[in-house]
Amino acid sequence: MQTSTAKRFTIFNHKGGVGKTTLTMNIAAVLTELGKRVLLVDSDPQCNLTSYLLEEPVVDDILDSSDSGAGRTIWSAVKPIVEGEGPPRLVEPFATSVEGLYLVPGDIQLSEFEGYLSDSWIESLQRRIRGFKGTTAISDVVTALVTALDIDYVFYDSGPNIGPLNRAVLLDCDYFIVPVACDLFSLRALKTLGRTLVNWIATWETVADLAPAGTSLLPGHPCFLGYIPERFKIYAGALTVQHARFLGQIDREIQSQIVNVLRTQGPGLVSRRKRYALGALKDFGTLVAASQREGRPLYNVSSGTAGQRRLAYEALFGIAKAIDQYVIDAGRSP
């Protein structure tokens, strides 16, 4: 069980190209403005978040040395488990350009770990200790880091799929947020997302019931906090007709495919917010490209206009504030 008080989040949608990584990095950055200490964990073998925050030569170096004893990626941390050498290793996270924001880099070799996690899941179902250790490996690393760095929020950046790695990450999270782009594929993805989550949660609950007493387990109750509509276009200060229609559609689909489906599994799996939209992020175009190039948040890049940067900050601040407020309120009335 989790002993740390840091809340764990993932901004998750298995549909790719919905801006997960950009959103994760920027919300985390704004949370540091609220005085929070935030740990980013790049759990995507594609390492987009890592490339976002660290210079290319640094990334190359990290990936080249991740197999060694001095490795600092999330793979370096879980490697001893995979190789049966002992407990996960405590890696030292990287400080980023944003104060109070830390990163455990991703690793291409996480794809190998993915296979291992798949076996671990089956072994957990068979009540084998090795299976539990594999399934909770990343979670155990994060627990140790949260204590070591006195972290308030953890954000996992997940790859766009519903594989074993994301299953282990989702089941480790206290909350998840769904980014939805204004397109038909994004809407369709919600259906599989809701069903898959319920399936994971139900199966893990069964596994956890039968786990030997004292086994380290994933908490297994990720609560849907809300969604963030993204990349809609605004002309002359108003939404385009097409995107306005999409926003309504997104809200209805979230209600039927995520909220209603999760509620069948347990009331605690859905936040008590009145509205599930946590805010919205319009298409910030050039700011996004600059942010990724410079490794800085959208509101701190060198390109775009001051007005654009202010708008980006306000939108992100609103989302971060909604997240933080919810966590504070939930802590008061458990």
Partner 1 sequence: MTRKKKPSDAEIVEGLLRVYDRYGDSIALFATHIYTALASSKSLSEQVHSLRWRVKERDRLALKLGRKIEEARRAGEPFSISEENLLTEVTDLAGVRILHLYTRQFARIHTVVLKILEDQQYPLVEGPFARTWDDESREFFQTCGIETQVSPNMYTSVHYVVGSASRVPMTCEIQVRTLMEEVWGEVDHAFNYPEPAKDLVTREQLKALAKVTAGASRLVDTIYLTHGLSEGIGN
Q: Which CB sits closer to partner 1, 141 or 217?
A: 217
For residue 161, what is the DSSP state?
A: S
Compute the distance between CA of residue 330 and CA of residue 180 in angstroms, rounded to an integer. 25
How, if at all, do strands 281-282 and 234-235 pair? Answer: unpaired
Q: Which CB sits closer to partner 1, 213 or 238?
A: 213
CA dist list (Å): 170 to 103, 158, 190, 220, 229: 18, 9, 15, 8, 20
Q: Which CB sits closer to partner 1, 211 or 223?
A: 211
Shortest separation between residue 258's beta carbon and partner 1, angstroms: 22
Q: Which CB sits closer to partner 1, 1 or 234?
A: 1
301 phi/psi in degrees, rounded to 5: -85, 170
Q: Which of residues 205-224 bind partner 1 (CB under 8 A)?
A: 205-213, 215, 217
How, if at all, do strands 101-104 and 153-157 pair? Answer: unpaired
Shortest separation between residue 262's beta carbon and partner 1, angstroms: 17
In this structure, the number of other CB atoms found within 10 A of the CB of residue 28 comes to: 30
- Helix, coil or strand: residue 162: coil
The span of 176-184, 199-207, 249-257, 279-287 binding partner 1 (CB under 8 A) equals 199-207
Q: Which CB sits closer to partner 1, 11 or 201?
A: 201
In this structure, the number of other CB atoms found within 10 A of the CB of residue 4 comes to: 15
Paired residues of 67 in beta bridges: none
The interface mask with partner 1, positions 143-182, x = CB under 8 A, is ----------------------------------------
Q: Which of residues 117-146 bind partner 1 (CB under 8 A)?
A: 125-127
Contact between 3 and partner 1 per CB under 8 A: no
Closest CA to 282 of 72, 78, 23, 50: 23
Shortest separation between residue 219's beta carbon and partner 1, angstroms: 13
Contact between 238 and partner 1 per CB under 8 A: no
Which residues in this chain contact partner 1 in the complex, by CB under 8 A? 125-127, 202-203, 205-213, 215, 217
